[in-house]
Amino acid sequence: MYTPWGIKGRNDNLIQMIQNEEKRTPFFIGISFIAVIISLFDFRMLPFDTAWVAIFLCGVPIIKGAVIGLVTEFDIKADVLVSIALVAAIIIGERFAAGEIALIMALGAYLEERTVAKARAGIEKLVSLTPATARVIRNGEEMIMPAEQIRLGDTLRVLAGETIAVDGVITKGQTSVDQSVMTGESLPVDKGEGDEVSSGTVNQFGTFEMRALKVGEDSSLQRMIRLVESADAGKAKIVGLADRWATWIVVFALLTAVATWLFTGEVIRAVTILVVFCPCALVLATPTAIMASIGNATKYGILIRQGDALERLAKVKRIAFDKTGTLTHGHPAVTKIRSFVSISEEELLEIAASAESLSEHPLGKAIVSYYKREKGKKPDAPESFCMIPGRGVYGEIGGTKVYAGNEALLSENGIFFGGEISESAEGERADGSTVIYLGIDGITAGYVVLSDTLRPDAAITVKQIQNSGMKTVLLTGDATQAAAHIAGSVGITDLHSNLLPEDKLNAIANFTARGEAICMVGDGINDAPALKAAQVGIAMGGIGSDIAIDAADIVLVGDDIKEIPHLLHLAKKTTKTIHINIAASLLLNFAAIALAIPGLLNPVLGALVHNAGSVAVIIHSSMLLNWRKH
């Protein structure tokens, strides 16, 4: 499709010129509209026909673009026929027809420009996650050097809060690592000697040393950047219908016009055919419907970033969901407190909140937040406090020694586990929850259960999607137990867990290879390649990362997944509206041609007839603005 002020993609200078001119497009279209209306009346006091204003502002750029496309690439698009009709109308003195055609085509092009892909910076943001420097130990000395100079086998020291520069294995120390960038997991993962860590993930607590196993372009984060780039390049862009059929339209229109001229000897009939054959309504058929649908979606907190996303979404047969942050809220919350001694659950919560009150760990913060919400006050701080990376916390509260953490913490401090407690806790973990044990004065008093809670509308949303005839699948980097619990809760039977970003991308590719158009719904950086590669990518805008949002075609601004069924219905309705617009515009064109051949239409009447078709298309499309399936 031509652009209103030139052709994109020729060279950098031309692109810059186009971008500058496009900023003035609405103003020029408005001036041209007024000029065309004035030219309908015979104002003798005006020194010239005002239709020339529309011809110059809207028509000349179309002719220029058509010539550039033909000369440089022999690219026959809809603007070729428009240019021929414009020039022919001017030659025979039908300036109103020429101005009207230029105005309508410029308006259609402007609307289409508003619906195409916006500039995105997702890859640059991924690159920014890679640390510029790292602490490398060589010959017993620690030195800070550029990350790209790290060699295979180097020993690195990573402090609390630092991002890990390369892939490797921990050789000394214990910590918790936020690896949501790679797996999407909402909770930090405890790591110790012998455990692997990935580039781009963040060391939460303590200091550890590691041996570099994958450096430079082989690291996990660099692989993800390449995946995002390749997925974006591989996603086909939908070409405007008028341009897709442009060659045949041009050939048929010219042959019909020439044949009419030869048989009748009247050039005005040939020009009328060219005028009525101009694909104005065809050009408006798609962008007007999409613009109206974008306005509709905005009312429900849905931002459509790619103009052709709705057309693609209408063809989708399966929807893939990420788990953490998509079907769930994406952060841990206290779901249960269990006491195995005479201490009540309320007292156990107060002790746990007090012990964790100075903790920086997300699980500890979640316990404190829950206590504040339930009790309406802050917990008392412990008299002494110690955080043990990879284990938990220790604190003295009113002279009582309290340990809050995992099994290893209690075992290392001689606190015994009973069979009933272990069995009960194992049941909680089987549901994908995390258990924080509480050791008080040498005994296991109970535990606090935390889990990533399900969004309230998740189950009904999945059911509505399935009832519409679409299949669903869960693609997550979480462990199988946690994934299976969530999948069962929402009614998804097709489950894929423990997936890295490339695994999610491969899963999307496998569905696509089977001829199954798929939509991906996700929120994390690890979802970005899959969001790019899917037929349509939908990102959670509130909790989602900027990189996932940049990779997506559609964004749920308020993370309201219950609007996904409306979005699916809207996509199908939009496609149906586009098809009706196209059929009606083609029918009108052929009817006008049938009248133009015997001379029943002149260029001005022809322009008005096909202008009426354009208006009808706009009105029909505008009905999408307030549409919602009940």
Residue type, 490: V
Q: What are phi and psi of 469, to 5 degrees?
A: 100, 5
SS3 239: coil
Chain centre to alpha carbon of residue 157: 36
Q: Contact 395/402 with Cβ under 8 angstroms?
A: yes
- Cα gap 89→83, rounded to integer Å: 10
Match 């797996």 to its residue by tokens: 183
Alpha-carbon distances of 493 from 183, 484, 487, rounded to whole Å: 21, 9, 7
Determine the pLDDT at residue 422. Answer: 85
pLDDT value for 593: 81
Domains 124-231 and 295-328+455-570 share a fold: no
How is domain 124-231 classified at the CATH fold level? 2.70.150
| Per-residue confidence (pLDDT) for residue 605, from 0 to 100 | 74
Catalytic residue check, 322 = yes
**What pLDDT, on a 0 to 100 scale, did the predictor assign at position 511?**
93
CATH number for region 330-453: 3.40.1110.10
Distance CA 291, CA 353 (A): 51
Give the number of other Cβ atoms within 10 Å of residue 240's Cβ: 23
As given in the structure block, the two tokens for residue 624 are: 């999408």
Query: What is the 8-class DSSP label of residue 194?
Result: T
Cα–Cα distance, 48 to 355 (Å, whole number): 86
Radius of gyration of the CA atoms of the chain, in A: 32
The catalytically annotated residue of 322, 478, 523, 559 is: 322
Cα end-to-end distance, the chain, whole Å: 36
| pLDDT for res 577 | 92
Class of domain 295-328+455-570: alpha beta
What's the CA gap between 518 and 474, in Å, rounded?
12
> DSSP secondary-structure letter at 470?
-
What was the pLDDT predicted at 1? 34
DSSP-assigned letter for residue 184: -
Q: Which long-range contacts (CB under 8 A, 24 or more apart) does 261-267 make?
A: 264/597, 264/599, 266/599, 267/92
pLDDT tens-digit map of 590-622:
888 888 888 887 776 776 676 677 778 888 888
Residue numbers in the chain where pLDDT is lower than 70: 1-26, 32-33, 36-49, 73-79, 81, 105, 108-130, 180-187, 220-221, 223-247, 249-250, 278-281, 307, 542-547, 604, 607-608, 610-611
Q: Any idea where the domains of the chain sit in the sequence?
A: 12-115+235-294+571-622, 124-231, 295-328+455-570, 330-453
pLDDT of residue 564: 93
> How many whole angstroms separate alpha carbon 442 and alpha carbon 473?
46
CB 486 within 8 A of CB 432: yes
Locate the DSSP E strands across 215-253. none
526 alpha-carbon distance from chain centroid: 13
In this structure, the strands spanning 495-496 and 471-475 are: parallel
CA dihedral 32, 35, 39, 43 (to 10 degrees): -170
